[in-house]
Amino acid sequence: MASAWEHFGEVANILQLTGLNAVALVSLIVKAANRARMHKKNCQIFAQHVKMIGNLLEQLKISELKKYPETREPLEMLEDALRRAYVLVNSCQERSYLYLIAMGWNIVYQFRRAQEEIDRYLRIIPLIALLDNARVKERIEEIQKDQREYTFDEDDRKVQNAILNPQPSENDTIILKKNLSCSYPKLPFDKALRKENEMLKVELQRSQDHLDVDQCEVILRLIEVTENAANPPTEKASPVKSSQKLESGKAEKSFEKSPEKVHHQTSSRRATISSGHKEASTAESNLQDEWHADLLGCCAEPYLCVKTFLCPCDAFSKIASVATGKQMSSAEACNEIMAYSLILACCCYTCCVRRKLRRIFNIKGGLFDDFLSHFMCCCCALVQELREVEIRGAYGPQNTRTSPPRHQHMES
């Protein structure tokens, strides 16, 4: 896309400008700027700058200057640059509106490059040495100081975002329709779209001839935009509403004909709902994967903490009964703890019970976490496990939490 400025020189209508000198080309550029549909501000700025050059060239005898090789060649290069500049300004009127919008910043860069090229050739011309005219020298200095700024208008930028949006919204469509109608005030919207589509296909052919892949992709996207805007999706009736009406009609007829069938359907629906309740409760239980009791929460219940510290077997028996699913007395728990203490594996035994408890309650954690908890403070770990058992209601009525069911339904 960066080479598009060179492509302007290859346009067919540039041949029609071959016989015109620099002054005539400047006049054409000014007229084309007044007719521009897009980049009007940039065209006017560029025309004002070129007009300054034209006023200077009018004072020169160009035919005389072309007799000398040192001035003829720079003048011819200046005229070539002015021809390309005319094609650029004229394209803001004749080219596709959507194409000019999509190529917004690219066109802006071409204006900047055109001004730099013209000024460069103007500096090469040894006008001062030939004419020795102070006024001409001052004019040249004024031209060189006249540095114009070219930019992309904010309104045009919004249109560019709207047409290049891969998922256009309703607001984007409104923006496109509004600006395209302003660009073609004498044409209805559908005819303007068809004209844009035809012009975009011409632009696509040019880009394909120049092997400009990036520009081809943009133009194909613009063609798609025109086709989608020309054939908007028709609104259809909601399938959900129609299906609901159909089902309600069938239900009324079936109720009149066969009450038993309706009762059977109602029962099956209730069974489906109840199974959904079971699935929801199962999913809810799968989500209960955190400890409700904190490991250091023993300080919140000092009595339980002291009791567990003085008699850990009683607390451990309650925990082991829930974890293993078998009733274990305090004496059995004491025997187990003493036996494993002889081989220095008491923490290993209690952490294995903690692991079983985690699996029953589906609590996150690992074997290393269990061992570390019992190794650092076995009493704190036992208090946490005992409080977890009581909170979840797996053992004893105390401290159990009651809550209403999450899913309620009324049966008729």
Q: Delimit the domains of the chain by residue range.
A: 4-152, 156-230, 297-391
pLDDT of residue 404: 45
| Per-residue pLDDT at 346 | 62
CA–CA gap between residue 241 and residue 13 (Å, rounded): 60
Token readout for 187 is 């044409």
Residues 128 and 139: their CA atoms lie apart, in Å, by 11
Closest CA to 100 of 28, 39, 178, 35: 39
Question: Cβ(8)–Cβ(91) under 8 Å?
Answer: yes
Rounded CA-CA distance 401/24 in Å is: 95
Nearest of 189, 190, 220, 184 to residue 203 by alpha carbon: 220
Rounded distance, CA 200 to CA 194, Å?
10
pLDDT in tens, the chain (412 residues): 444 444 444 444 555 667 688 888 888 999 999 888 888 888 999 999 988 888 877 777 666 667 767 667 778 888 888 988 998 998 888 888 888 888 888 888 888 999 988 888 877 765 545 554 555 667 778 888 888 888 888 888 888 888 888 777 878 778 878 887 888 888 888 888 888 888 888 888 888 888 888 888 888 888 888 888 777 655 443 444 444 444 444 444 444 444 444 344 444 444 443 444 444 444 444 445 677 777 666 676 777 777 777 777 777 778 778 777 777 787 777 777 777 666 555 666 666 777 777 777 778 777 777 777 766 777 787 777 777 777 776 654 344 444 444 444 444 4
pTM more than 0.75: no
